[in-house]
Structure 1
Amino acid sequence: MTAPVRHLISISDLDDDDLRHIVARGARFADSGRPYPQTLDGDVVGIYFKRSSTRTRTSFSSGSLRLGARIVTYQNGDLQLATGESLEDTGDILGRMLDVLVARTAEPTADLRALAARSRMAVVNAMSAEEHPTQALTDLTALQRHFGRIEGLRVLYLGEGNNTASALALALTRFPGTELHLRTPRGYGLEADYLAQAAKQAEAYGSTVTERHDMDELPADVDVIYTTRWQTTGTTKPDPDWRDVFAPFQARAELWETSPGAVFMHDLPAHRGEEVTAEVLDGPTSIAFWQAEHKLYSAMAVLEWCARGRITETAAPDETPETQA
């Protein structure tokens, strides 16, 4: 590897320049198309998913291969973690053989920090219990390409304050003039630490983040209406009547009466008739599946940043650019 190891375990691991670089680099991959630069030629990327995944796993596997890396895949139970080996020891060993490890645990983010503690490899959080940072980077990349900017965008987020919402709050509030309006069912909001950090960032960057637990007095003329599945991957809800609590927060066509220019976003998978109606998900305002395509471009940008640092944007798509430390 030609640059220091960089972990992406939380959006907070990125400084402002790195955050903007990854978004811009992902957009460049999307705009340039094939052939992609072989910037990861000679690297080996581990793909470790304890939980199911379609988009994230495929994007990081495909992205690694498209940039010239080789991949090693692990299923749940393949590693000696299943027999009691510590996360630190596992990370130490994998770091002697891999350049990057992309891991989805759906467990505390601290587990990924432990994997990275003694490691020579970069560790990428492909979704932990608290945060889904690569989803937020995908979303920012899609927003940048669709609107031509992120600054000043107004986003209405509906539903559970889950790991996608946490990452989005940490990312979006670092762009001046943005507004993130979170409408979450009572008892299912953002974790207090994430909301507090996002609010602190909003004050520093001149953005706005608010959370309410009702659907009254919704903001008008938002740019984006965003939701996620109500049953977050790898989790269950203790309340047997939770669907009744969530029902008012469904993304349905009436929301566009006061925001006719809004696009619809969803991190997928979607459950038509629950968090979103088929009319909205499959309708003309939806960019959800186009948004999902950006998982590939964003994953490539993340992998490259972790293994090589910031790549100069002036290089042609079929050339291997110089790196910046």
Structure 2
Amino acid sequence: MRTFAHERLTTLASAASVPVLNALTDQEHPCQALADLLTIKDHFGAFEGVRLAFIGPANNVTNSLILAAASVGMSLVVGCPEGSEPSEAILSEAARISATEIEVVNGAPSAVLGADVVYADTWASMGDGTTPEEAAQRCAAFQVNETLMEQVSERAIFMHCLPAHRGSEVTSEVLDGPRSVVWQQAENRLHVQKALLRWMMREAH
């Protein structure tokens, strides 16, 4: 089910006699996170020792990445503007899953320092009522550009769940650059969701 309000999903799931798949809500985007994990595993071969930096205001993708990172033991830091941090509920759930390092900072340079994965998403998340102008003013210091990417590890890659807004959360130089794996990441959504459907149909029978 792909919807806005997360409560619609939980209401349906509580009454359903078959598995219900969260294809996206305003709180979480687990299908995207699974595709992201596949992309990272394909590139690095393992999650151990990989540090992911999410840059920009926390949103549904951030939430699912935090839970995914905690599940596989991958350290993650969120670099976001003040007032747009992940919820305490998500951070508490991640801590319950494992003792994996999950950090939140209010700056981009400190977040990406030594990062192996730099991840960006749109500055105006679904349903938050933020205009593009307001988002640009709030998040200008959180653009992923070549200067910011100078702080990352030598093996670092850039990820984005797409569609990207060139010149806003990421520059074209980074999006189209040699570190970018966004097209592989997008393709992996297809593979992950096929696997999910197969697993769900097996579970339903």
**TM-score, normalization by structure 2:** 0.91
What is the aligned counterpart of 1:184 among 80, 100, 104?
Answer: 80
Partner of 1:306: 200
What is the aligned counterpart of 2:3 among 105, 123, 127?
Answer: 105
Contact kept, 8 Å, 1:221 with 1:261, in 2: the verdict is: no
Report the 3-state secondary structure (helix = DSSP H, G, I; strand = E; otherwise coil) of the residue aligned with 2:179. Answer: coil
Report the 3-state secondary structure (helix = DSSP H, G, I; strand = E; otherwise coil) of the residue aligned with 1:211. Answer: strand
Q: CA deviation at 1:237?
A: 1.7
Q: CA deviation at 1:238?
A: 7.2
Q: CA deviation at 1:228?
A: 0.6
What is the aligned counterpart of 2:171 among 254, 257, 277?
Answer: 277
What is the aligned counterpart of 2:101 among 204, 208, 214?
Answer: 208
Q: CA deviation at 1:235?
A: 3.9
**TM-score, normalization by structure 1:** 0.59
Contact kept, 8 Å, 2:109 with 2:148, in 1: the verdict is: no
* Cα deviation 1:162-201 (Å, max 9, x = unaligned): 000000000111223x210100111111122102222333
Partner of 2:32: 135
Q: Which has the higher contact order (CA 8 A, sep 6+)?
A: 1
Is 2:141 aligned against 1:242?
no
Cα root mean square deviation, aligned: 1.9
Report the 3-state secondary structure (helix = DSSP H, G, I; strand = E; otherwise coil) of the residue aligned with 1:117. Answer: helix
Q: Distance in 2 between matches of 1:216 and 1:276?
A: 14
Contact kept, 8 Å, 1:202 with 1:209, in 2: the verdict is: no
Contact kept, 8 Å, 1:133 with 1:167, in 2: the verdict is: yes
Q: Distance in 1 between matches of 2:191 and 2:57?
A: 26
Q: Distance in 2 between matches of 1:162 and 1:153?
A: 22
Structure 1 segments (4+ residues) deviating >4 Å? none
Q: CA deviation at 1:139?
A: 0.5
Counterpart code for 1:213: N
More strand by share: 1
Map 1:123-272; keep pairs closer than 5 Å.
123-176=20-73, 178-203=74-99, 207-237=100-130, 241-259=134-152, 260-272=154-166
Report the 3-state secondary structure (helix = DSSP H, G, I; strand = E; otherwise coil) of the residue aligned with 1:120. Answer: coil
Q: Distance in 1 between matches of 2:119 and 2:132?
A: 24
Report the 3-state secondary structure (helix = DSSP H, G, I; strand = E; otherwise coil) of the residue aligned with 2:61. Answer: helix
Structure 1 gap segments, 5+ residues each: 1-102, 310-324
